């Protein structure tokens, strides 16, 4: 094996071994009429400040329990896990909204969002299916 | 006839409102919280008072919430305080909130019922223990000091209607709220040498009005709040009533050449304005928050003259308390309060917090003319998302701003609490 082939093999190995940094997609049930253009607008949904879609459907937010996707999503919202939990608790105790249900996996998220009217959640973009619509891709 | 029409129209309107509302098939959400404490208390101002320790269920709140339609929500909060027990007459139970909210837009929400008004930042959450790090709240929000500090004279306790909303402006948000409610005159009335508890109806022809305007952006939140109503000054009037009750007996024993004491007038309804500022920053695990409240009364010339008579009449003669005469009531009815608190979350499970507050009542020359200060240190551990173990050391004293108060106040409070949200 000559040097060039060896280098190509090393590069290919590194590329295959590297983790996949898929973007995060904010997804919704197909009956949700909502337009999101910025991370701030996405943050307004997940901090329960906006609770109604354009077609007057009550928005139901879902969250992931843990994981890299959740970490990246929270970072995009510029909020820590503790801050979001406080925001959700305050909203619930003030009667302003309901803390989101946390789900174990992205497939559970897809299933829940697809089957719940008004649902909004998030998954990595590569895991989006045709059962849900994509509102926004986190930059 | 007009009154009869009103009495028919109001309940009919109520029936129409509820019969036309499309009640969804969703159930009622029931949730709540409780805080159980172990408190140790030592009075450093009076060595003869032994330290005390006690367990208590400080507070238990049960919430019922129902989404009646996408735009209409209702919430009820039933609150139990202080080891509540009717058989032992311990603690209290109250309907702390009961309201219906109509939210047609983010910019327009209407709440009607018994609600916690938006005044500064802490007022809305003052009873919601899981939301703040401390066990003893900033002084004017700490209900265990209600008896001595007449707390609702600082911040409005409840309102009955609030219109509020949020307007996004680029990446910032403008928050606004206006509210109205019953006046202060529905609770107790001072008669003779005691107080009479009224049934909770406001029999006055004036009400509380107020509001807040604020901005939020990048973790920073600030706002200006205000209220206008009439003050009853029942703390002063209680002193007047007590003193007046003693006057006939005192006069009976006075020598004939000594002028008889005269019955003092009570203070009447005095216009009162509150002004509040709030500022906070949250980010990177750090929360810094502070508030300022100023309460001014605008007595008429007649009330000022009455106040002068009360000041003279309630002065304690030399030799009874101090070697010199002690004036108990001041002619300035201004009150002020401020607090600052810094909290840091570390390792996601732990937090530490330190705070300082000062409450001053210029009319209370015995205890708080120059300020009752509170110094507190807290440490907490979040066992789970729903259970937090809190510990706190607090020192409440009135000799930091000045040492001229006639009654010294210096208490140390050590507490451990478990706060549960379910």
Query: pLDDT tens per residue, chain B (422 residues)?
Result: 444 433 433 343 333 333 333 333 368 999 999 999 999 999 988 888 899 999 999 889 999 999 998 899 999 999 998 888 888 888 888 899 999 999 999 999 999 999 999 999 999 898 888 888 888 888 888 877 665 566 678 899 899 999 999 999 988 999 999 999 988 765 556 565 566 666 677 877 789 999 999 999 999 999 999 999 998 887 788 888 888 888 888 888 888 888 787 888 888 889 999 999 999 999 888 999 999 999 999 999 999 999 888 888 887 777 777 777 777 778 888 999 999 999 999 888 999 999 999 988 888 777 777 788 889 999 999 999 899 999 999 998 887 766 666 778 888 999 999 999 99
Tokens of A111: 């299933």
Kindly provide the residue ranges of all beta strands, DSSP E only, lying in B141-260, ordered along the sequence: 159-169, 172-181, 188-191, 194-197, 208-217, 220-231
Sign of the C-alpha dihedral computed for residues A108, A114, A116 and A119 taken in this order: positive
What is the b/e burial string over A60-84, where b = at least 16 CB atoms within 10 angstroms of the residue's CB? bbbbbeeeebbebbbebbebbebbb
Instruction: Indicate the helix (H) or strand (E) that contains A113.
Output: helix A106-115
Could you tell me the maximum CA-CA distance found in chain A, to the nearest angstrom? 70
**Residues B69 and B166 occupy one common structural domain:** no
**Residues B75 and B195 occupy one common structural domain:** no
Smallest Cβ distance to B124: which of A40, A86, A94?
Answer: A94
- Number of structural domains (chain B) is 2
Q: Decide if B151 contacts B368 (C-beta within 8 A).
A: no
The enclosing domain of B201 has a CATH number of: 2.40.160.10
Q: Decide if B237 contacts B244 (C-beta within 8 A).
A: no
A90 interfacial to chain B (CB closer than 8 Å) = yes
CB contact under 8 A, A82 and B65: no
- Domain-ending residue, one of B102, B132, B161: B102
Interface test with A, best of B61, B75, B387 (most A CBs within 10 A): B75
CB pairs under 8 A between A and B: 52
Host domain of residue B172: 106-233+268-298+332-421
Pairing relation of β-strands A60-64 and A101-103? parallel
- Whether complex ipTM tops 0.85: no
Count Cβ atoms below 10 Å from residue B396 Cβ, excluding itself. 21
Exposed / middle / buried, residue B353 (Cβ in 10 Å: 0-12, 13-18, 19+): buried
Q: Decide if B124 contacts B231 (C-beta within 8 A).
A: no
Tokens of B276: 């509040």
**Residues B154 and B273 occupy one common structural domain:** yes
List the CATH code of the domain at A22-137: 3.40.190.10
**Residues B193 and B167 occupy one common structural domain:** yes
Residue in the block written with tokens 């302003």: A96
- Domain-by-domain residue ranges, chain A? 22-137
């Amino acid at each position: 094996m000559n040097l060039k082939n060896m280098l190509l093999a090393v590069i290919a190995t590194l590329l295959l071994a590297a983790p996949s940094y898929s973007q995060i997609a904010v997804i919704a049930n197909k009956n949700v009429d909502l337009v999101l253009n910025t991370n701030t607008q996405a943050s307004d949904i997940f901090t329960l400040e906006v609770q109604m879609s354009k077609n007057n459907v009550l928005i139901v937010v879902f969250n992931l329990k843990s994981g890299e996707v959740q970490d990246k999503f929270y970072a995009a919202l510029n909020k820590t896990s503790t801050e979001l939990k406080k925001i959700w608790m305050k909203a619930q105790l003030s009667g302003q909204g309901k803390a989101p249900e946390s789900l174990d996996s992205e497939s559970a998220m897809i299933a829940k969002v697809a089957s719940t009217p008004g649902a909004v959640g998030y998954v990595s973009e590569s895991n989006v299916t045709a059962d849900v619509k994509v509102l926004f891709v986190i930059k | 006839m007009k009154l009869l029409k009103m009495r028919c129209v109001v309940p009919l309107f109520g029936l129409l409102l509820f019969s036309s509302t499309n009640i969804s098939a969703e159930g009622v959400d029931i949730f709540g919280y409780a805080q159980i404490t172990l408190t140790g208390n030592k009075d450093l101002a009076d060595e003869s008072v032994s330290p005390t320790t006690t367990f208590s269920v400080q507070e238990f709140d049960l919430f019922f919430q129902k989404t009646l339609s996408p735009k209409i929500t209702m919430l009820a909060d039933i609150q139990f305080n202080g080891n509540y027990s009717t058989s032992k007459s311990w603690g209290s139970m109250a309907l702390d909130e009961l309201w219906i909210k109509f939210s047609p837009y983010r910019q327009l929400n209407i709440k009607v019922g018994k609600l916690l008004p938006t005044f500064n930042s802490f007022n809305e959450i003052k009873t919601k223990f899981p939301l703040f790090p401390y066990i003893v709240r900033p002084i004017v929000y700490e209900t265990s000091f209600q008896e001595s500090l007449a707390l609702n004279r600082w911040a409005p306790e409840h309102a009955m209607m609030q219109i509020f909303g949020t307007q996004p402006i680029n990446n910032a948000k403008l928050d606004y709220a206006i509210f109205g409610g019953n006046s202060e005159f529905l609770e107790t009335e001072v008669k003779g040498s005691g107080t009479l508890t009224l049934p909770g109806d406001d029999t006055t022809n004036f009400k509380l009005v107020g509001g807040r305007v604020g901005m939020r952006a990048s973790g920073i939140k600030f706002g200006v709040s205000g209220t206008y109503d009439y003050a009853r000054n029942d703390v002063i009037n209680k002193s007047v009533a007590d003193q007046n009750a003693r006057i006939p007996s005192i006069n009976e024993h006075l020598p004939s050449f000594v002028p008889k004491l005269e019955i003092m007038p009570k203070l009447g309804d005095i216009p009162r304005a509150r002004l509040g500022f709030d500022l906070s920053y949250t980010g990177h695990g750090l929360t810094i928050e502070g508030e300022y409240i100023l309460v001014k009364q605008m007595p008429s010339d007649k009330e000022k003259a009455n106040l002068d008579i009360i000041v003279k009449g309630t002065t304690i003669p030399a030799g009874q308390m101090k070697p010199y005469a002690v004036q108990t009531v001041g002619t300035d009815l201004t009150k002020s309060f401020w607090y600052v608190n810094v909290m840091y979350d570390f390792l996601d499970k732990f937090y530490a917090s330190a705070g300082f507050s000062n409450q001053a009542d210029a009319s209370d020359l015995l205890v708080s003319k120059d300020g009752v200060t509170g110094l507190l240190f807290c440490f907490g551990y979040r066992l789970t998302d729903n259970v937090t173990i809190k510990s706190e050391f607090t020192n409440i004293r009135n000799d930091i701003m000045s040492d001229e108060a006639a009654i010294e106040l210096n208490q140390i409070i050590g507490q451990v609490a478990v706060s549960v949200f379910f």
